[in-house]
Amino acid sequence: MNGQSEWVQKALGLVEQGKELALTWLVSPAAWSQFGLLVLAYLAALVITRRLRPVAMRLLTPSADSAHILAKLRRFGLLFVPLLLPLIAYVLTGIGESVTRSLFGSGAVIAFGKRLFLFLAARILVREIITEPFLKMLGKYILIPVMAIYTLGLLDPAIAKLSATMINIGNISFSVMSLVRGVIAGSLLFWFGRWSNDQSAAYIGKNEEMRPATRTLAIKTAEILIFGIAFLLLMNIMGISLTSLAVLGGAIGVGLGFGLQKIASNFISGVILLLEGQATVGDFVELDGGEAGTIVKMTARAAVLETFDGRWVVVPNEDFITTRVVNYSDSGSANRYEAPFSVSYDTDINLVPAIIEKAVATHPDVLDAPYPPDCELRGFGDSGIDFAVEFWVNGLDDGPNKYSSDVLFLIWNALKDAGIEIPYPHRVVEFKNGLPTADPKAGPV
């Protein structure tokens, strides 16, 4: 109860101070003049905004088909047109504050109005201009409350109180204000870092002159640099010396040495893969363990393979370094396939290669280099003469591409057009003593 009474007494004291301040303002000519100047500044800002807004809209609105950098800047500036009224009122109120302080030596009322206009500008900024969800959340829960405290003139005492409250963790010491400042600055820094990383990744990804592995390495390097700089800036803003993190860094080093060996190994393997370019995004690979698929993503720890049946297989980067890897699409190299077939023994086999090679060459994806289609005699089978045609394509004979199936269709149609028979198995049964005859004296079986 005593504590509660003390708080009640403090609250009543603040109410009394507020009443005295209000009465002082009501009977003070300086306060009335400041209030009048405040109203006059708002009305003047309203008139100026009504005249200036159409001009600003006309100057900042580019044509619909404009896409150059100046048009983008004009569209960006167009977003801030709603801030004209509170900002003009803020400027005019500042001029009025200078006048009242020079005449009456006081400007508390008009200074409050000036802060109020700034609060309204922040509110418009959060509600109408900011569209990014994370920044909108920061504005709603951090910027608006801080501006409200600033409008009431309580920001400086609040900062002083938070700065005087210290937090000690081992040999690291910082104030509550540093923590609050770190949370706010950290949120903004890492959001800006994420945005910068997305922009740099998009810019590097458009550079077709670089190898895919080099592009991926450049993107990862830019990401590490951006977030590393953000972390250093955050430590500086919070007032934490980097030397005080030596113990934490040593603990992390011990953890890497014992418990995180695999993670460190996979990370280093990923860097080696990106540097050497042995496997990169878009390559179809097959590992010793049987995993096979197209690399759709490479992270610091593992590569993600997408199989032809749509499943994703996560393969640690270390497996690409320590095991045998077959890369079917490295540097866009062509792949050779073959399609077997047979013809009847009644066929003039000297005509078959030319017919088949000509037919297979008509396929739009079959290459002339490094070698054109090549039909080879493979052997003499039980039912027919065995051939196979070899052909080269850029791609894999599976998934969206069915080269062997297309080539077999071409072979079938070419042989039919040439009148060549495709054999099927025959079986001949011989009776050495002729066919058995039925005994007429015997009854029915």
- Tell which wins on pLDDT, 331 or 441: 441
CATH architecture for the domain at 334-417: 2-Layer Sandwich (3.30)
Question: Residue 405 is encoded by which pair of tokens?
Answer: 């199936």
Residue whose C-alpha is closest to residue 41's, from 106, 76, 89: 89
CATH architecture group of domain 270-330? Roll (2.30)
Least confident of 52-61, 180-189, 238-247: 238-247
Three-class DSSP labels, 272-304: HHHHHCCCCCCCEEEECCCCEEEEEEECCCEEE
- Euclidean distance between CA atoms 209 and 307, whole angstroms: 28
Helix (H) or strand (E) holding 261: helix 261-276
For residue 77, list its beta bridge partners: none
Answer whether 0.85 is exceeded by the pTM: no
- Residue 71 makes CB contacts below 8 A (sequence gap 6+) with 62, 63
Mean pLDDT of the chain: 78
Note whether 338 and 356 are within 8 A (CB). no
Highest mean pLDDT among 16-30, 151-165, 310-324: 310-324
Cα–Cα nearest to 142, from 112, 104, 184, 109: 184
Tokens of 137: 């959340």
pLDDT tens per residue, range 85-143: 888 888 888 887 777 777 666 667 777 888 888 888 888 888 888 888 888 888 888 88
Least Cα distance to 390 among 437, 353, 349 occurs for 353
Which residue reads 């047109």 in tokens?
81
pLDDT (tens digit, 9 = 90+) per residue, 3-40? 455 656 656 665 666 666 555 555 566 666 777 777 88
pLDDT at 361 over 90: yes
CA 324/CA 313 separation, integer angstroms? 17
What's the Rg (C-alpha) of the chain? 40
Q: Give the domain ranges of the chain.
A: 7-153, 178-258, 270-330, 334-417
